[in-house]
Amino acid sequence: MLKCFVFWFILAALCGIGKAQQFHRIMFYNVENLFDTFDDTVTRDDEFTPQGMKHWTKLRYISKLRNIARVVDSVGGGNWPLAVGLAEVENRKVLEELTGKTALAEAGYGIIHRDSPDERGIDVALLYRRSEMQVLEENFLQVPFPENKAIFTRDVLYAQMLFRTDTLHFFVCHFPSMLGGEKQTEWKRERAASVVRRKVDSLFRINPEASVIIMGDLNGKADTPAQKVLGTKNPDKKIQSGQLYNTGYYLLKKNYGSYRYKGCWQTIDHIIVSGGLLDEGHTCFASRRMEVYSASFLLEEDKAYFGYRPFPTYRGPRYIGGISDHLPVYIRITVAE
């Protein structure tokens, strides 16, 4: 009997060799107007100054930085996220203070950022664990509007990162808003999507198995025309190389999401991945379903429409002390060792 037990114990141990796994999270968060308190003379940031309409003070700014750090820590679930895509950050200064003067300093995040032509001065950025990843290439893709030179929007951030022995291709996006009507402005988001798609196609031509991660506030749900330009598919279907899959597709029919407007939940914040990154046969692969992080400290009661909604920093011109009008989203990355 003892010999039999020893045999099965050894067999189980041998079967487990080489199957150890590590788990990481990659998140995206629209942090809703992370401005410093200084007036930038070349952008429309006047309202976010102590003398501006919103009376944006240093104390309020510091509180927001600390709160964002708390969110990143919470999403990490005990381990700092591997990478953090951000939207609506004003400049590199706010990113340096976020990563260097809050609890995030412990994580050792590097910063990828460049000022974009957005007239309000809000940009996208990527934070990455310097102990885990190395930057191979970074670039910023402009979204052109030659037919109307008065239109400006955020650049698309592209970064090629070395993670262990794998190369990950990150895109961080903040597509043009719906201001002026969703249908009337969809063409602008389609234009932004076409810029991303061209770059992705160039990666797939070199390697159809390329590990691509597109994350951002795309200002539209998973079934919009802009998503069709991106060519995203439902990851619950058959996975193929050289294709893109929206990990939040399943949220289309759910009564919750990353954003709430007039009592209706919707997911306009997305994480889209390539088929190669969903292949569980690879040493590094992603989960097929994005999660919305909806901890209670990120929500407030929606008295007008009942239920709860994201707890923003401002409601109109009134400071209410929340963190953002969006909820963060994340996927899990599994690494076989």
Kindly report, residue by residue over 156-198, the tens digit of the pLDDT. 999 999 999 999 999 999 999 998 999 999 999 999 999 999 9
Provide the pLDDT for residue 19. 60
Confidence check: pLDDT of 236 > 80: yes
- Relative to beta strand 244-246, strand 232-233 is parallel
Q: Indicate whether 7 belongs to any domain.
A: no
Query: Mean pLDDT across the stretch 45-50?
Result: 88
Structural domain includes residue 4: no
Residue 31 lies in a domain: yes
Strands (E), the chain: 21-34, 83-89, 109-113, 123-129, 133-141, 156-163, 166-174, 211-217, 232-233, 244-246, 259-261, 264-266, 269-274, 284-286, 291-292, 299-301, 308-310, 314-315, 318-319, 329-336
Q: Give the domain extent around 276.
A: 19-336
Residue 10 maps to a domain = no
Task: Tell which residue, 235, 260, 237, 230, has the closest CA to residue 249.
Answer: 235
Question: What is the value of pTM for the model shown?
Answer: 0.92
Residue 118: CATH number of its domain: 3.60.10.10
With respect to residue 71, please indicate whether it lies within any of the assigned structural domains: yes
DSSP 134-159: EEEEEEEE----TT-TT---PPEEEE
Whether 11 has a pLDDT exceeding 70, the answer reads: no
User: Would the pLDDT of 5 be above 70?
Assistant: no
Mean pLDDT, residues 294-315 taken together: 95
The count of structural domains within the chain is 1
Task: Give the per-residue pLDDT at 41.
Answer: 75
Each residue's pLDDT tens digit, 273-292: 999 999 998 899 999 999 99
